[in-house]
Amino acid sequence: MSATVVIGAQWGDEGKGKLVDVLAGNADLIVRFQGGSNAGHTLVVNGKKTVLHLIPSGILHTDKTCVIASGVVIDIFGLTDEIKKLKEAGFNITSSQLLISDNATALLPYHKVLDKAREEALLAGKIGTTGKGIGPAYEDRSARRALVMADLFDTDTLLSKLEFVLKEKNALFKGLYDLPEIKAKDIFDQIQTVIAELKPYRTADVSYLVSQKIKQGKRVVFEGAQGTLLDIYHGTYPFVTSSSTIAGAGSISAGVGPHQLSKIVGVFKAYCTRVGSGPFPSELTDEVGTKIQKDGHEFGSTTGRARRCGWLDLVALKYAIRLNGINSLAMMKLDVLTGHEQVGIVTGYRLNGEVITEFPTSTELVSKAEPIVEYFPGWSEDLTKIKTVKDLPRNVLKYVEFVSQQSQCPIDVISVGPDRDQTLWIKPLFKD
């Protein structure tokens, strides 16, 4: 038995949360493996909306176990707030429902201060981060100065660890950013206000737990955050997030062998969006882009920022299929494309007088790439109430078939609305 990985095949916000929620109904364990509260996963059940940032998107199924693995950077105050909101909404979030790796990185208030200070100082060339402290937290982890979750529970050593980290941070705040000093004792005291709430969910060995479940033939779903083109190594660097967002990162974060992840589901929207700076070859800056933005409610669930919109980019999608080893595609938000006379798909780029069909690995080249757009007749039918694929209008089917054929990867799921039941299965991802 092996696990299923759900990752974003574009620039994030593809609808991974909805798909993980749907899959979780037939799964046993849901593992969030990277990112932090920069993510915003929106779930809609019976018309009721829940936005999650850190807690895995399986949490609304109360008989499932959700794990936050070691590769996640955890804003402990944000997480506590998320748990509180779920409890207020009637979910009892027990310690068998939510497990948090002791070895995950603690994201603390000074990471956010540094993230924002750096963005402000950049003026031109801003990355457009979410301001959630993601970069500084991952940086501390790599520099071997981060506090991991287990450190927060050890009150004998916590203060001295904070003092050590803050010595360097305060030198930066004072010397470079003209910001007031942050006192270790203040952070220590703030941590004490949430630590009792988080303690029941502590888990020492996520690797053992996940491996056992896989061995027992249980269904494990790995939930990615952000998207392939925001990957720290393979995305449009430096306009990326600070973690590896691709499927392989699931294996590293949870501590299981790569061969145990065999179903790799690439989630993509029927069009494309991007938040923040960086090249986006299929971007539409005209009224067509504005219509997609409006119809798709393309405003960030974490920051509220308007998302840039464009046609589906097959060059970028094929790159994502290659990087992740995607063997199943989920096309989301197809209903949003209703009402266009024609819909475009980017099939290649024109670059330095040549036509290319492989995504350039240099960000500078991506920014120079001119999209080659193939147009298809649009449709006017409302897709949101359609229950089976065969009922999709002919022009819609042509569009979907073209994408599947060109990407050489089966589209197994199509989503035509935010709710769980607005999901059309071409092939079930789990067999029964």
Residues engaged in binding ligand IMP (CB under 6 A): 12-13, 38-40, 127-130, 132, 134-135, 225-226, 230, 239, 241-242, 275-276
Q: Catalytic residue at 41?
A: yes
First to last CA, the chain: 15
User: How far is residue 32 CA from its own chain's centroid?
Assistant: 9
| Bridge partner residues of 156 (DSSP) | none
Around Cβ 175, how many Cβ atoms within 10 Å? 9
How far apart (Å, rounded) are the C-alpha atoms in residues 375 and 373?
Answer: 6
- What separation in angstroms does the CA of 269 have from each of 127, 379, 385, 430? 23, 17, 18, 22
H-state helical runs in 248-299 = 248-254, 287-295
Best CA proximity match to 313, nearest among 229, 418, 219, 383: 229
Q: Of 21, 28, 41, 382, which residue is the catalytic one?
A: 41
Q: Of 13, 75, 115, 140, which residue is the catalytic one?
A: 13
Q: b vs e for 254-263, b when ≥16 Cβ sit within 10 Å of the residue's Cβ? A: bbbeeebbeb
Contacts of 279 (CB under 8 A, 6+ apart): 236, 239, 363, 366, 367, 369
How far apart (Å, rounded) are the C-alpha atoms in residues 248 and 403?
Answer: 24
- What separation in angstroms does the CA of 172 have from each of 126, 134, 252? 19, 17, 31
**Residue 12 or residue 250: which is nearer to ligand IMP going by CB?**
12
**Residue 43 or residue 400: which is nearer to ligand IMP going by CB?**
43
Closest CB to ligand IMP: residue number: 276
Instruction: Report, as residue numbers or ranges, the catalytic residues.
Output: 13, 41
